[in-house]
Structure 1
Amino acid sequence: MPVKCHLSALMGKHKMTIQDVHEKTKLNRNTISNLYHEKVTRIDFETIEKLCGLFGCTIAELFEYIPNEPDI
C-alpha cells in the first residue's frame, strides 16, 4: 500500500493504547485498530482531525505517501 499510517508510532511515543485513543477521541475501536494495523483503505476527514488533534501532529506526521516502484 503506498500510504503508510504512523498511528502505531505516535501511540507508542505518547504511551497510549487503542483503548486510550478510543476514550479520548470517541472514535470507534475498530477504526483505531484498523489504522493501527494498517488495514484501512479509506478514512474520514473527521477521523484525521481527531487523531491530529489528540497527538498534536500534522497530517504528514500521521500519514506518509510512499510511491510504488515502477515495473521493470
Structure 2
Amino acid sequence: MIRFKLAEQIEKKQFRESRRITIQEVAEASGVNRMTLSKILNHRGYSTGTDIVDKLCTYFGCPVSDLLEHVVDRG
C-alpha cells in the first residue's frame, strides 16, 4: 500500500516557517482541491494521480520519497 506523508510535510513546513499551515492554505497554494487533501489525510490507502503528487511536491519543495511511502500490507 502507498501511504501519503502529507501530515508530516505540513508539520515540517509549520516548523520551518514558525506558523500554522491550514489545509485550505495548502489547497490554494498548490492548486489541489481541499477535499482531495482531506481524503489523502483521512482515508487510509487513498489513491490519486501523479499530477496531484507533482503539485504537492512542488508546494513542499520535496522529492516524491518525502511525500509517499510504500508500506507492506500485512492484511
Asked whether the two chains share a fold, i.e. TM above 0.5, the reply is yes
1:1-72 equivalences in 2 (<5 Å): 2-15=1-14, 16-39=21-44, 41-69=46-74
The TM-score normalised by the length of structure 2 is 0.79
How high is the sequence identity, in percent, across the aligned residues? 28
The TM-score, its normalising length taken from structure 1, stands at: 0.82
| Unmatched runs of 5 consecutive residues or more in structure 2 | 15-20
Contact preservation (8 Å) 2:40, 2:46: no
Q: Which runs of 4+ in 1 moved over 6 A?
A: none
Q: Which runs of 5+ in 1 are unaligned?
A: none
| Larger gyration radius, structure 1 or structure 2 | 1
